Amino acid sequence: MRRYRSILSSSLGAEPINVTPLIDVVMCLIIFFLIVGKLAANEKARIHLPSTSIGQVAERQDAVVVSIARDATTAGAAIALISVDGQLAKDGEDLIRLLQTRLERQATVTARLNRSEPQPISRGKVTIRADKDLPYDAVEPVLTACAKLGISRVDYATARTDLTPGGAQ
């Protein structure tokens, strides 16, 4: 009598998959993104904000953030680097263009979310994060650009320092 081999019981079947290398790769990716996230958080820490004991805590950040930091490549000089939401501005005209583009994009997105007409960019908000040791000349181009675009709402980011622990006065 003949014996037939079943296709399902064949010894040529697939072997179990070893997932150990896959777990190793995933763990390396997790560690990589944790390190990159920490480095990105430290990028904002390069600006030493002026301290204050008054002011409001920003509840929702819907403003265009302009960062002004001392140029680390120039020793001792008060040359500032200006960036609009991470994009470096080369000069005053480029700063105006970057601000206008970012404010228009933000107005369009907000209008789509609210299903309404886009607001003019003059109703936009700008937050300035400037190093506390920089002179006014470093902040002045940003204020001039905001004035040329008709933006009247400009906030200044500061580091909150309460006089007593817990904020009670």
Domain map (residue ranges) of the chain: 18-47, 51-160
- Per-residue pLDDT at 1: 56
At residue 6, the pLDDT reads 55
* Vertex 105: Cα angle to 86 and 63 (nearest 5): 60
| Percent of the residues in the chain that have a pLDDT greater than 90, as a whole number | 7
Residue 142 predicted with pLDDT over 70:
yes
**84: nearest Cα among 69, 72, 102:** 102
Using DSSP's 3-state secondary structure scheme, residue 64 falls into strand
pLDDT (0 to 100) of residue 27: 94
Q: What are phi and psi of 112, to 5 degrees?
A: -70, -40
Judge whether residue 168 has pLDDT over 60: no
Cβ–Cβ under 8 Å, residues 60 and 66 = no
Q: Quick one: 156 exposed, middle or buried, by C-beta within 10 A (0-12, 13-18, 19+)?
A: middle
Q: Does residue 98 or residue 118 have the better pLDDT?
A: 98
Residue 101 has pLDDT above 70, yes or no: yes
Joined together, the tokens standing for residue 9 give 């019981």
Mean pLDDT across the chain, nearest whole number? 77
Beta strands in the chain (DSSP E): 51-52, 64-70, 80-84, 87-88, 125-130, 153-156, 159-160
Enter the pTM of the model. 0.60
Mean pLDDT of 15-44: 83
Question: In terms of pLDDT, which residue wins out, 112 or 43?
Answer: 112
Task: Please tell me the least confidently modeled range out of 28-32, 46-50, 54-58, 84-88.
Answer: 54-58
* Residues belonging to the chain: 169
